[in-house]
Amino acid sequence: MSQRYIHALTAAGAIPWMIPLLPEDTDTLRAIYDELDGVFLPGGADIDPASYGEQRHPNCDRSDTARDRVELSLTEWATRDRKPVLGVCRGLQLINLAAGGTLWQDLGTQRPASIKHDYFPYRDGFARDHLAHPVSIRPGTHLAEIVGPGEHQVNSMHHQGIRDLAKGFVVSATAPDGLIEAIEMRGDQFVLAVQWHPEALAEKDPLTQRLFEAFTTAARDHRREREAGGIIA
C-alpha cells in the first residue's frame, strides 16, 4: 500500500489504521470496524468481475478477491451506519459496486469514445502527479464545496470506470469524454469518491489536500456524535 495515502491522511489530522484481509473472520473484521470513525478506500488492483456478476474481460488485470470482500463489507457497514467514507480510484469503483452500480472492465475496448485514462507509472513511466486531463466539478455538490466548482486538472491511473451509477448517488465530476470521475451519496452523509489519485497531488496542491481534511473532519464529527449518544453503530 502506497505511503502517500498515509501521509495525506496524517497531514489532515487522521490516525490511519491498516485493516488486515480477514474475509472469513467476520467477527474480527467487525470488531476492528467498530473502532473506526471513518473508512478510506485506496486504489489498487482491478475488482474481480465475479464480485458484480460478470465474466472476466481479457483486459481485466489481476484481482484480489480477499480485498474485494473485506472492502465491500466495510463499505456496506459504513454507509448503513453513516460513518464517513472516502474512496480513491478503485475505491470509487468499489463504492459504486457496493451500492448496486456496474463497471466498465476496460475503457479502451468497451468504451471506444473514451480519452486516454491509463497513465500508469509502472507500465508507461508517467509520474504519479502527471496532470493527465481536466475534470469538470459540478456546482452544488459536496465536492464543489470542498475544492471548488469548475475545471480542475487531475492525474489518471485507471483503465476501468463506472458504467451504471448506483442508486442514491450523484455524479459530482466528469472527464471531457463524459466518464464519471467523482460521485457522492445524496443528502448530508459523507460518502464521496474520486477516480483520480489526490494523495499524489496533495503535498503541492492545497485544494486537493482539502479532500482529506474534509474526510477527517467528518470522521471526527461522527466520533463526537457517537460519544454523545446521537448515533448507534
As a whole number of angstroms, the distance between CA 45 and CA 32 comes to 23
Choosing from 89, 133, 142, 152, the catalytic residue is 89
Cβ burial, residue 93 (10 Å; 0-12/13-18/19+): buried
SS (H, E, C) 102-167: EEECCHHHHCCCCCCCECCHHHHCCCCCCCCEEEEECCCCHHHHHHCCEEEEECCECCCEEEECCC
199 is catalytic: yes
Vertex 201 angle, CA 215 and 37, to 5°: 15
Choosing from 117, 142, 197, 222, the catalytic residue is 197
Choosing from 142, 199, 213, 222, the catalytic residue is 199
What the block records as the C-alpha cell of 159 is: 483503465
Closest CA to 172 of 162, 232, 80: 162
Q: Which residues are catalytic?
A: 89, 197, 199
